[in-house]
Copies of this chain bind each other. A is one copy, B any other.
Amino acid sequence: MENGLSPLLNPRKSPRQERSIATVDAIFEATIQVLSSDGLIGLNTTRVARRAGVSVGTLYQYYPNKQALLFAVLERHLVVLAAAIEKACDENLTARADELAEAVVKAYLRAQMAQAEVSPALYRISLELDARALIDMATRRSVTAIGAALASAIDAQYADPHLVAQTLTAALFGTVPAFCHRVLAPADGREAEKQLTIMFRSYLAAHQSGVSGS
């Protein structure tokens, strides 16, 4: 919240506020569009404003600076991802570990795909200075949710569910973008999902039986 602006959460609004909100949204969407079509490098405030159908001045009335714009977009992206993982975990609180693995992988990938347009550009942003806080937020939520689900899994005990959750989160937030960026060339989404699911399932299984390598 302190990082930039997140004006997306006010419940009640006056007519004037409604217009404001429409404007904020227009700018927000324009940012995503410009990001998709021109990339991070091609994104500048003038372009965003034009695409949003407002003037630069107006843009600066709602977002204090360019970073805030990008942070807002990145934030929503990460919030959506985190929420998807949380939902999958909540729905599998008392499921078997392999069902959990499948659910989490599917949820994450579905959320990613839904925002496929922007995500490449967003990864650029997220690596820029100070997005740390946002990413921490998202991964923390993911780790917490997965950890809780593991702790309550019906079929197994984990020595360190937090550690396992961290690993899965890292693999999720790390590997998937790698898949996306055609590291895995022929990998249509389905195949990626399948392989990741296998990997997660077997990793969880390994931890259940207490194997701890090296």
Interface positions of A (Cβ within 8 A of B): 39-41, 102, 120, 123-124, 127-129, 132, 135-136, 139, 163-164, 166-167, 169-171, 173-179, 181-187, 191-199, 201-203, 205-207, 211-214
**Cα separation A166 to B185 with both chains bound (whole Å):** 8
Q: A167-B199, A174-B176 are in contact. List 13 more A-B contacts (CB 8 A).
A: A41-B129, A120-B127, A123-B127, A127-B181, A169-B183, A171-B175, A173-B178, A174-B174, A174-B175, A174-B177, A197-B214, A198-B212, A199-B199
B166 and A213 form a contact (CB under 8 A): no
Query: Could you say which residues of chain B place their CB within 8 Å of the CB of A195?
Result: 163-164, 167, 213
Known: A202-B205, A205-B202. A194 touches B178 (CB 8 A): no
State which of B193, B194, B205, B213 has its C-beta within 8 Å of the C-beta of A197.
B213
Which residue of chain B has its CB nearest to the CB of A176? B174
B194 and A183 form a contact (CB under 8 A): no
Known: A127-B123, A201-B206, A202-B205. A214 touches B187 (CB 8 A): no
Query: Could you say which residues of chain B place their CB within 8 Å of the CB of A170?
Result: 175, 178-179, 183-184, 187, 192
Query: Could you say which residues of chain B place their CB within 8 Å of the CB of A173?
Result: 178, 183
Q: How far is the CB of A192 from chain B (nearest CB, A)?
A: 8
